[in-house]
Structure 1
């Protein structure tokens, strides 16, 4: 009897450990901080009074439930394409399986709209923008342009909606703020293709660090995790850190009249107005046998990661060598696993509430790469972390006598905070960065 009880106890411990795996513990939780946004033409952030990140995480033996308003900790907007909407309260519940499974039948195509949820509760969208070519009028139709296109040659949202993306590469559909791509600031790409960050905070979910394994940034609607663009070169966790490369490339075509070798309704002409890359059907997947750092047709691979040391299938938010987003950006054009609509209206099974209690040692805390710039500073001092922040940071500025002058906070799921130093005298100051338990101090020089 004692042996049976011991086996039962160990079994329960195993179940609990599985339940509190990355699908439960990775979500950024918050019940106090509220969001901000930039109205068009205004570089001063405004409050929206909506809680950021995720408000609750609950799990059962089979599923995890995420309650979120869908608002990030980084500011949203401005949307410079005339979009009249702002990010709004989604008041959503998402249900993900703790043990996702491969789809062994016909792969499910990613559909227009939500295909994933980032760990801050913000939606991930597929690559399309709802507009396709209408052959009878030789023009785009659908989506914000009105009407209905043929649905054959579909526009790439990353190309055609770039003007409407904010600094963090996101925008709202209605009030549903979302990212079609890697949620990091345009300003820190090696080739900066949008100037929207110039008068605004260059913020995002995380900052790409090419020397570190990218963080787990979300989960797809089949339940498998999504990582940033950098990982171990080899699927077995060896080979050093390298960029995960999309297996997709532009097709060598001069006319748009075939897809996968089949004749279809003609699309826009291939020219300077509609160059290759305008449509997602302009791409083809090519196998790179023996090269683990090239991804499969779903934009993922089976591999070992820091969160999954025994290995799992995972997707990657692909970028090119300049850190610009690379098709298919997150997932697609089909899922690897079994798809389900993850948005639910209620929780109908017994669950356990998970409360994040991330313990960070002093050594780990001091290894956080925090940059103060410019230094010397004249008018605005930025404090930036170069990875994904999983806990709140208190940031304080002192004069050299130890007098507290200013304080602010960097909320988990954001990458920068700042101090207005215009009113400070020239001289030396100290910036203290703390997570409530550990503190690091850095010197900054104010010079007007």
Structure 2
């Protein structure tokens, strides 16, 4: 009987591990495709976004039995910029093709560390970077060096970009490196965090790929360079899909140190600066130590775990875009400091094999799916401006209509796929009651809005 059970398990595992290569699984169907909507960006001093001539999100998805090829310009549907730390770059067309494995595998040998530059790609075609920005402490000069700071540091105490470059991130928590717009962290807007730690959204409002919703399993938002999926901050507590929805927690914690002359394993290293107001704990990656997961909602050393998700009901290894209790980004942010799987994903210049083109069928969100987005209006009542905010991930364009009580449409906006917010300027409207209708090709919801004068 035991032998038979083992044989059945082997057969099941074979079909689970190979099935995605012969059907349109999430690694093929989850990308946000677009060829018509163009991007936009802010420049410092101008709070009106400038329209660009670069299509947003991804443009073409092709797949074979082993690979999916994602063609993208690397431009999101939300406005980018400005980058207020003096970064002269703007988000530019990357004309990239990412080659992603359909059957990712665990690395059972020496772990592969994440590196500078691309380590993954979000479903809108925007690049994912790890914690670093190329800057490290230089002991001989008593200062930081490398990357945007210039020169070369020791590479022993490496600056955390999420902390060190916060002043240069736009509202969506991204910035470009030589034109390559990317996120080091959860791609959600600063002003949607429970504790707002950047004021850049005040003048240059954007929104990010998705908005955190603590009541639902977070959406699939990307893939790492080993081919395993990336999710937002919330999931089922238990790996088997039970236990309720909770925040996935990083198992890295700040060390209890006042001087920097050892690593967390006790090894002596070239000294960095003392912990102080200029270089607080968390300024360098080496300020953290890994503590074995305390419960099921704590992640492993790669910032992930094997679990069941809505897209993978039989289970798969997943990374999570970790945040703290205030929804501020939590180290190691998304992937790292090492990959769980074999790093085989690459950026290629062309597709060198026979493929099938994936064309999504515009079925439209169901009524239940639209309602699950938990769309809010604020402020309400409003006077001169009202925001329509989606809590979640918008997978297809949403039409947003503002109508008076006679049913006449007075204003109309679009929340494009990969974006979460639309604004109505209501300064010229009369006081009274209005209806906001959010609709797709197959469903609609309405909300009452009061305008005061």
Partner of 1:441: 446
Q: Does 1:379 align with 2:384?
A: yes
Tell me how far 1:368 sits from its aligned partner: 3.2
Partner of 2:344: 340
Give the alignment's TM-score, normalised by structure 1: 0.94
Q: Is the 8 A contact 1:186 1:202 kept in 2?
A: no
Partner of 1:418: 423
| Distance in structure 1 (CA, Å) of the matches to 2:43 and 2:180 | 16
Partner of 1:172: 176
Pick closer, same or farther for the CA change 1:266–1:368 going to 2, 3 Å.
Answer: closer
Pick closer, same or farther for the CA change 1:221–1:17 going to 2, 3 Å.
Answer: closer
Partner of 2:130: 126
Match of 1:91 among 95, 115, 129: 95
Q: Is the 8 A contact 1:19 1:59 kept in 2?
A: no
Match of 2:56 among 45, 48, 52: 52
| Distance in structure 2 (CA, Å) of the matches to 1:408 and 1:192 | 27
Structure 1 residue matching 2:370: 3-state secondary structure? helix
Unaligned runs of 5+ in 1: 1-10
Partner of 1:316: 320
Instruction: Spell out the pairing of 1:74-89 with structure 2 (5 A cutoff).
Output: 74-89=78-93
Pick closer, same or farther for the CA change 1:62–1:250 going to 2, 3 Å.
Answer: same
| Distance in structure 1 (CA, Å) of the matches to 2:371 and 2:230 | 27
Tell me how far 1:16 sits from its aligned partner: 7.0
Q: Is the 8 A contact 2:21 2:102 kept in 1?
A: no
Tell me how far 1:213 sits from its aligned partner: 0.6
Partner of 1:7: none
Tell me how far 1:267 sits from its aligned partner: 1.5
Q: Is the 8 A contact 2:232 2:320 kept in 1?
A: yes
Alignment RMSD, CA only? Answer: 1.5
Q: Does 1:431 align with 2:436?
A: yes
Q: Does 1:303 align with 2:317?
A: no
Pick closer, same or farther for the CA change 1:255–1:172 going to 2, 3 Å.
Answer: same
| Distance in structure 2 (CA, Å) of the matches to 1:373 and 1:41 | 25
Structure 1 residue matching 2:48: 3-state secondary structure? coil
Pick closer, same or farther for the CA change 1:278–1:170 going to 2, 3 Å.
Answer: same
Pick closer, same or farther for the CA change 1:15–1:234 going to 2, 3 Å.
Answer: closer
| Distance in structure 2 (CA, Å) of the matches to 1:77 and 1:288 | 37
Structure 2 residue matching 1:140: 3-state secondary structure? strand
Structure 2 residue matching 1:395: 3-state secondary structure? strand
CA deviation profile, 1:311-361 (whole Å, cap 9, x unmatched): 100101111111110000011110000013521111001111111225332
The aligned length equals 435
Pick closer, same or farther for the CA change 1:18–1:303 going to 2, 3 Å.
Answer: farther
| Distance in structure 2 (CA, Å) of the matches to 1:114 and 1:329 | 14
Tell me how far 1:395 sits from its aligned partner: 1.3
| Distance in structure 1 (CA, Å) of the matches to 2:21 and 2:366 | 22
CA deviation profile, 1:185-241 (whole Å, cap 9, x unmatched): 111111111111112324111110011111111100010011111110011111001
Tell me how far 1:297 sits from its aligned partner: 0.5
CA deviation profile, 1:141-176 (whole Å, cap 9, x unmatched): 101111111111100001110000111100111111
Match of 1:236 among 223, 236, 240: 240
| Distance in structure 2 (CA, Å) of the matches to 1:363 and 1:240 | 20
Unaligned runs of 5+ in 2: 1-14
Q: Is the 8 A contact 1:132 1:153 kept in 2?
A: yes
After TM superposition, the structure 1 stretch with the greater mean CA deviation from structure 2, 361-370 or 423-432, is 361-370
Tell me how far 1:392 sits from its aligned partner: 0.5
Match of 1:406 among 400, 411, 435: 411
